[in-house]
């Protein structure tokens, strides 16, 4: 799993380390160039990162000068670290594909696992998915189960499934 870490750079500020990521493969080259242009427009101080002041300046350049600090902080908190270009692409990739963060999916499954076992009975989850909110068909649930680890007792490993849903492949053990 890609990790996001920060290191002290000379001068005392934080800088993002590169995360092993295939985010660039999710976009066409022309899209990446357009995102780079947008990033450059937003990175008002040209330090390679988008911070609160950059957001404030970007809004001001668009004529909105009454943006609240809380709104800016909420925007910055959507990132899991400093917003360099790779993080910017990751954020837009997640928004464009409509994929929830792994933690969000895990928390949803945990609500159905009061004992914290890390698994949920597959028949129970199938009934829920077919009868609640945006109801899934039996075929859609079975398709999801193809990517899930299910033990001999019929319990679905939701931690592994959450990983597959957000990363596209099961992690190597």
Q: How many domains does the chain have?
A: 2
For the segment 116-133, the average pLDDT, to the nearest whole number, is 91
Residue 16, in any domain of the structure: no
Task: Let me know if residue 39 belongs to a domain.
Answer: yes
* CATH number of the domain to which 51 belongs: 1.10.238.10
Q: How many CA atoms lie within 13 A of 89 on its CB side?
A: 20
Tell me the average pLDDT across 12-38: 69
- Flag whether 73 is in a domain: yes
For residue 66, the number of C-alpha atoms closer than 13 Å in the C-beta half-sphere is 0
Residue 115 has pLDDT above 80, yes or no: yes
Least reliable range by pLDDT among 1-5, 29-33, 40-44, 49-53: 1-5
Q: Is residue 10 part of a domain?
A: no
Query: What pTM was estimated for this model as a whole?
Result: 0.47
Phi, psi of 50 (to 5 degrees): -100, 120
How far lies 26's CA from each of 75, 90, 92, 148, 167, in Å? 23, 9, 10, 23, 12
On the question of pLDDT at 24 being above 60, the answer is yes
At 44-74, the pLDDT tens digits run 999 999 999 999 999 988 888 899 999 999 9
Residues 108 and 91 in one domain: no
State the average pLDDT over residues 92-104. Answer: 72
Structural domain harbouring 73: 26-96
CA distance 167 to 94: 11
């Amino acid at each position: 799993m890609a990790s996001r870490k920060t290191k002290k750079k000379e001068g005392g500020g934080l800088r993002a380390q590169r995360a092993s990521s295939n985010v660039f493969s999710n976009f066409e080259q022309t899209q990446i160039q357009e995102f780079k242009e947008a990033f450059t427009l937003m990175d008002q101080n040209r330090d390679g990162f988008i911070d609160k002041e950059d957001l404030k300046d970007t809004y001001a350049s668009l004529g909105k000068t009454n943006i609240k600090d809380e709104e800016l902080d909420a925007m910055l908190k959507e990132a899991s670290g400093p917003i360099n270009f790779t993080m910017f692409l990751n954020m837009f990739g997640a928004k464009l594909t409509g994929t929830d963060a792994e933690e969000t999916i895990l928390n949803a499954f945990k609500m159905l696992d009061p004992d914290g076992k890390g698994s949920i009975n597959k028949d129970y989850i199938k009934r829920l998915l077919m009868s609640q909110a945006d109801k899934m068909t039996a075929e859609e649930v079975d398709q999801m189960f193809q990517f899930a680890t299910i033990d001999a007792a019929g319990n679905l490993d939701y931690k592994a499934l959450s990983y597959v849903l957000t990363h596209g492949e099961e992690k190597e053990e």
